[in-house]
């Protein structure tokens, strides 16, 4: 007797949606509280706090609608066997254009192309509303409609260029991996992650934003002094024109070994009242590096990825699993999609555990003596920045 894999997945998806909605409702209620902590009363004005609260409530309301529509669509697609129907149709399309539908790589690429088109169409209304209604209403959106479309086109073109070789490699590995399939898959994804971490800031990010060196001055001197005090191997310091799209602010670092780089959003420089606030934000990020949180997180992700591939190898030839979802054959990409649906409960349990670790990391950074700041001062600067980042510039 075949196990009801599909029914179990639908049940877990529904229960998870109910639980997540319950948590979101609790958070929504908390956002309605019109109180500002006394410790921040002299740091943040009541007006700014109200602006941040209004923005968060708007995003929360939008999230309720988006999540409800998403779960309904996902359940309908799985329950009514839309995926196997679309897999067959993509094979017919491949044949009609004169290609070999028996070639799994070609068939898979056609299937994924259709999925990408569907995803773009269904996600577009949400993206447009979020950008040009919610973000614009609160003074954050700075991009034009045509810049939005151009960014979307560039994203699609990148997918068209990058996805085929990656998908082809995964299929070949699965078809020829044998007993060491999990190791081969993990090794490929590990190498791919390192490659993307290397080329993204150098080749991909500049397609969307302009990066310029931070000019000489007191801010640069303070950042370099902080990096030196933490023995952070800072090689380059950039400012990115985030203001062309949004007034939200941010900062991040990247690079391997002794070749680290820091990127500041121009909006961060514009919105912070003094250099110390900017340096506090960077101190927090550098604190994660100093305490090896970035390395620990990367290792944890790699271990989880390896475990997932190990689980996949156990079920990839399960005929009952594929038939439960409506598939007569067992394509590689479909097997991966189905497997990711079947481990939803485990994924959310792991996500909960990772969130606990992440929170511990945050408190560890704030209390770390490695940071050359008073903990209270750093905390106030950071909270002030986080609240102000929810307000228009």
Return the active site residues. Answer: 285
The H-or-E segment that residue 252 falls in is: strand 251-254
d(CA 69, CA 277): 40
Q: According to the annotation, is 288 in a ligand binding site?
A: yes
Tokens (6 digits) for 268: 């961060």
DSSP-derived secondary structure letter, 141: B
Are 79 and 36 spatial neighbours (Cβ–Cβ below 8 Å)? Answer: no
Is residue 93 left, alpha or beta, with left meaning phi > 0 and alpha meaning psi from -120 to 50?
alpha
Which of 197, 198, 260, 202 is CA-nearest to residue 226?
260
Could you give phi then psi for residue 368, rounded to 5 degrees? -70, 135
d(CA 174, CA 180): 10
d(CA 233, CA 259): 6
Tokens (6 digits) for 228: 């030196």
The H-or-E segment that residue 276 falls in is: helix 275-290
- The binding site consists of 284, 288, 362
- The binding site for Zn(2+) consists of 284, 288, 362
């Amino acid at each position: 007797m075949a196990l009801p894999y599909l029914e179990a997945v639908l049940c877990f998806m529904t229960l998870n949606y109910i639980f997540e909605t319950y948590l979101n409702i609790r958070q929504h209620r908390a956002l309605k509280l019109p109180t500002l902590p006394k410790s921040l009363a002299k740091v943040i004005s009541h007006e700014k706090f109200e602006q941040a609260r209004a923005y968060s409530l708007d995003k929360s309301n939008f999230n309720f609608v988006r999540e409800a529509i998403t779960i309904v669509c996902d359940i309908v697609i799985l329950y009514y066997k839309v995926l196997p129907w679309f897999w067959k149709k993509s094979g017919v399309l491949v044949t009609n254009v004169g290609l070999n539908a028996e070639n799994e790589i070609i068939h898979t690429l056609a299937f994924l192309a259709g999925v990408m088109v569907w995803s773009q169409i269904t996600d577009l209304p949400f993206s447009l509303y979020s950008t040009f209604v919610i973000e614009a209403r609160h003074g954050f959106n700075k991009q034009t409609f045509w810049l939005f479309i151009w960014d979307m086109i560039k994203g699609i073109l990148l997918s068209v260029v990058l996805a085929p070789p990656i998908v082809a490699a995964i299929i070949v590995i699965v078809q020829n991996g044998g007993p060491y399939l999990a190791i081969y898959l993990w090794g490929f994804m590990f190498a791919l992650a390192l490659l993307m971490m290397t080329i993204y800031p150098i080749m991909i990010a500049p397609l969307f934003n302009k990066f310029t060196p931070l000019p000489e001055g007191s801010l640069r001197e303070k950042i370099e002094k902080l990096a030196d005090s933490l023995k952070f191997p800072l090689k380059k310091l950039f400012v990115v024109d985030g203001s062309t799209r949004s007034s939200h602010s941010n900062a991040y670092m990247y690079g391997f070994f002794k070749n680290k780089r820091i990127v500041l959003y121009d909006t961060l420089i514009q919105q912070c009242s003094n250099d110390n606030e900017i340096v506090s934000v960077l101190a927090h990020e550098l604190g994660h590096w100093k305490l090896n949180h970035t390395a620990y997180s990367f290792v944890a992700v790699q271990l989880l990825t390896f475990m997932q591939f190990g689980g996949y190898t156990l079920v990839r030839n399960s005929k009952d699993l594929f038939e439960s979802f409506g598939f007569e054959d067992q394509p590689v990409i479909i097997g991966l999609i189905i497997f990711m649906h079947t481990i939803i409960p485990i994924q959310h349990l792991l996500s909960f555990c990772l969130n606990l670790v992440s929170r511990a990391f945050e408190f560890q950074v704030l209390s770390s003596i490695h940071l050359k700041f008073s903990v209270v001062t750093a905390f106030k600067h950071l909270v002030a920045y986080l609240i102000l980042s929810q307000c228009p510039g």
